[in-house]
Structure 1
């Protein structure tokens, strides 16, 4: 009898506790009293907006084993820098769970490259690098900072096309993920420049391609939708334009491939 009473009391306590928790949850979040914002916003066939981005751009490099490496030591370093960007949003609703987005924007970028290749190359070719015509390139024995450090400035016109998949809306928020392809035009590439690193001009490709992946949460307010998101963008082509054949192999010959990788914190307003 005593054990039966204990069981009944325990069951009563559990039911009472569960009811109290549910009541506390409803009071805390007031789900019954809250108003849904922009209920018909996502039913539009087309919508638009703009975004601001805080960026971190870097180069992923594969170094040439002859000029860019001394044993297992890398002789070229890339330093990532923080930058900003902004752009527009155009969105087309496909169905209840999928949207197609295009988000053209501009990203202003600077990356710093350091070349520690001079002693290594000079040891390989103390009389200068041999050219096909029988002459030799000049040897730089005491490089100054303009020779060893290159600030690579880029302005990317980024045009991503993304397929977005989102979950069900919970009150005034909705999670989503997106992925797609990018076309990126570097407006400061110097690709067609006649100068190269011998006159402190670092050249990269103008037309580039890549892919992006993104996750975020959409928040609905009374007049607009705010979306904080994290995006990764990865170039698929080699951006490096090689120096002229008459330029010593201190710089671009040390790099086999060079591709941008970027991580962005994006704030979208629709």
Structure 2
């Protein structure tokens, strides 16, 4: 319900911005350049709102995560939202350095169709013998809630200003702390607790257009963020290989639509 409400707010914001942009860019009579000299400031600040789509890139264990050519673990993408602050440092006429810390609220779903791992109950070189369990629907499904404190440091390259607009591209590195990782929990998937790493690293690429109004600068942008570390925390040694053992590596990837206000 919250996701739908947020998407409606984003739609209304974009619609309103499009109306304003039409007036700013395409009505040429008596048009003036807004906020002249604002980009010459050494530093500036702002905030952003965004809609996001997070997913896991999964590499499955060939023994516990695959049954022939069938993937036994599936990740489902979901839509959510985030918000944060902007700090800009001017380097020269074409390059800026940006620090944009924000909170990303994320819901993801994992499905474990791993009942066939009963065949390894006698034990393997990687797992001790275990007593097979009859997996219930609750056992097969994990809803993974994450709150990332995401801190990207971006190098921005922008073209020349055309009336009240300016395109740009940016790329950089991310440090992200998952505040709901459960990494230190003693319980694991056998008790219904999915665990992941709290500290993560990644890289980001972004494209957008900056629009200048009389009092502020509005920037709609598209961003892709890709974690480089394995976020999986293994289950306890005594837990059957129905869950974490079925995954070799698990990395977040996200696509965002962002509205920046400066």
Class of the TM-score when normalised by the shorter of the 2 chains: 0.7 to 0.9
Contact (CA 8 Å) 1:91, 1:100: kept in 2 or not? yes
Cα gap change, 1:129/1:175 in structure 2, threshold over 3 Å: closer, same or farther? farther
Deviation (angstroms), 1:31: 4.3
Q: How far apart are 1:33 and its partner, in Å?
A: 2.7
- Residues 1:72 and 2:69 aligned together: yes
Bigger Rg over Cα = 1
1:47 aligned residue: 44
CA contact (8 A) 1:114 1:148 kept: yes
Provide closer, same or farther for how the CA distance between residues 137 and 46 of structure 1 changes in structure 2, counting only shifts above 3 A.
same
**1:102 matched to which residue of 2?**
99
Counterpart contact for 1:57–1:80, Cα < 8 Å: yes
Q: Deviations over 1:17-42 (max 9, x none)?
A: xxxxxxxxxxx956473110001110
The residue that corresponds to 1:203 in the other structure is: 195
Residue in structure 2 matched with residue 138 of structure 1 by the alignment: 131
Alignment map for 1:80-229 (pairs within 5 Å): 80-118=77-115, 120-122=116-118, 124-125=119-120, 128-130=121-123, 136-141=129-134, 143-229=135-221
Following TM superposition, where does structure 1 have runs of at least 4 consecutive aligned residues deviating by more than 4 angstroms? 28-32
* Aligned residues between the structures: 237
Unaligned runs of 5+ in 2: 1-24
Please give the TM-score of this superposition, normalised by the length of structure 1: 0.85
2:128, 2:238 within 8 Å by CA — same for their partners in 1?
no
Per-residue CA distance 1:123-167 (angstroms, 9 max, x = gap): x23xx35389x97322112x1122000001100000000000000
For structure 1, the residue ranges without an aligned partner over 5 or more in a row are: 1-27
Alignment partners' CA distance in 2, 1:135 and 1:49: 54
Change (3 A) 1:185 1:30: closer
CA RMSD after TM alignment: 1.6
